Amino acid sequence: MKVIAQYGSPDYFFTGYFRVNETSRLNRSILASITENDTGRPVFAQMIGESIPDLVRTAQELCRDNIAGVDLNMGCPAPRVYRKNVGGGLLREPEKVERILAELRSTVSDRPLTVKMRIGFDNTDTFYEILDKINRHNIDLLSLHGRTVKDMYHGEVRYDLIAEAVKRVDCPVLANGNINSATNAQEVLSQTGAAGVMVGRWAIANPWIFNQIRQALRGEIITPVSLVEVRNYIDRLCQTPNSAAIPVRSRSVSYGESRVGYLKMFLNYIALLVDAEGHFLRLMRKTQTEVELLNLCDRFLLGDSNENFALAPYSKI
C-alpha cells in the first residue's frame, strides 16, 4: 500500500485477508497496514473464513481500529483456500452465506460492510440467489470478479454478468477482473455501469494505473511513464521492509523464498509492459541471483531514457 501510494493511490485500499478460524488472531503485518496507514486513503479490513462466531469476533476486533469498513472475501480461487470452504468455496453454500451476512450485518453497524465475490464456484447457478442475499442484508458495496472460482485468472471475464449485478443489487458495484489499463477500465465502466473498478495484480505491474484511470475519465491525455521511472519503482520494491519475509503463499512455488523470488513475483507482471517481444520477461525468469536480476533491469530499463512503459500489457507475450 505504501509503495502504491507513492505513485498515485486508489480512492481506498483493501487489506490482504485476515484468516479467521477458532484459533486465529489478527495477523500483525496485515494489521500494520491499518494502524500505520499513512497513505491518506481509507482502508477496508478484509476477512476470510466460514466460522460465524469467529467472523463476528474478528469483525468486532477490527472495528476497534481506524478502518473504513469490513470486507468479507467470498472470491479467493486458490484451491488450498476453497477446499476449506472459505473464500470462493462459500459460493457453493448460499444458505451459509445468508447466515454469515446476517450476523456480520448485525455486528458491523457503524461503518460499511462490503463483500468481494466471484460470479460462482464452477458455474453461475447460485449467482442471482447470492445477489439477492447481498440486498437482503444491506451490504454497502460489492466487488465482483467476472469469473468463477474454478476459472481462477484464466478465460473470459463475464462483464455482462457484472452489468446484471449492477441492475440487481441496491449497493454500488466495483467491476473486477483483468482491469489492466486506463483504457480498459473506461471500457469496463461503460459496458457494466459499475460505480468503479477494483484493480489487483495490475496495480503491481503499473502503480501509476489509478492516476491514469482518473486522467482517462476526465478525458485527458494519459501521462506516459518512462522506463527509468519503472526502474526506480523496482528499487522501491527492493527496499520494502518486509520484502525478504513475504509469506510463501503469496509467491510462486517455483521461485522459493528468496529475495529473487520476491522480485520475480512482481516482475512477472511488470515485464508485460516493458517490451513487445517479451525478451525482458524471458531473460528475467532465467536469472539466478539478485545482482544478475537487477543488472538485467538496468540493461532494459536504463538503456534509453526516452522509452516509455506501455499503457497496457503487450498482448502477444
Q: What is the pLDDT of residues 190-209, one digit of tens each?
A: 999 999 999 999 999 999 99
Let me know if 316 is exposed, middle or buried by CB neighbors in 10 A (0-12, 13-18, 19+). Answer: exposed
pLDDT of residue 130: 99
Q: Is residue 180 helix, strand or coil?
A: coil
285 annotated to a ligand binding site: no
pLDDT in tens, 26-76: 999 999 999 999 999 999 999 999 999 999 999 999 999 999 999 999 999
Pick 239 or 143 by higher pLDDT. Answer: 143
CATH of domain 2-203: 3.20.20.70
Round to whole Å and give the CA distance between 26 and 62. 8
116 annotated to a ligand binding site: yes
Q: Which three cell numbers stand for residue 182?
A: 486506463
Q: Which DSSP category does 76 fall into?
A: -
pLDDT of residue 246: 42
**238 catalytic residue (yes or no):** no
- For residues 309 and 230, the answer to whether their CB atoms sit within 8 Å is yes
What are the backbone angles phi and psi of residue 147, rounded to the nearest 5°? -130, 165
120 annotated to a ligand binding site: no
pLDDT of residue 304: 77
pLDDT of residue 316: 78
With a cut of 90, say whether residue 185 has pLDDT above it.
yes
Q: Which of 76, 171, 238, 297 is catalytic?
A: 76
Domain boundaries, the chain: 2-203, 227-301
pLDDT of residue 253: 37
- For residues 159 and 185, the answer to whether their CB atoms sit within 8 Å is no
pLDDT of residue 61: 98
What are the backbone angles phi and psi of residue 85, rounded to the nearest 5°? 65, 30
pLDDT in tens, 90-136: 999 999 999 999 999 999 999 999 999 999 999 999 999 999 999 99
User: Percent of the chain, pLDDT > 90?
Assistant: 90
Q: Which stretches of 10-160 are assigned E, i.e. beta strand?
A: 13-14, 18-19, 43-48, 69-74, 113-118, 141-145
Q: Which DSSP category does 29 fall into?
A: H
Q: Is residue 153 helix, strand or coil?
A: coil
- For residues 119 and 88, the answer to whether their CB atoms sit within 8 Å is no
User: If you count DSSP H runs as helices and E runs as strands, how many of each does the chain have, helices first?
Assistant: 14, 8
With a cut of 70, say whether residue 242 has pLDDT above it.
no
Query: What separation in angstroms does the CA of 265 have from each of 7, 39, 125, 298?
Result: 19, 24, 34, 18
Parallel, antiparallel or unpaired: strands 18-19 and 196-198 = unpaired
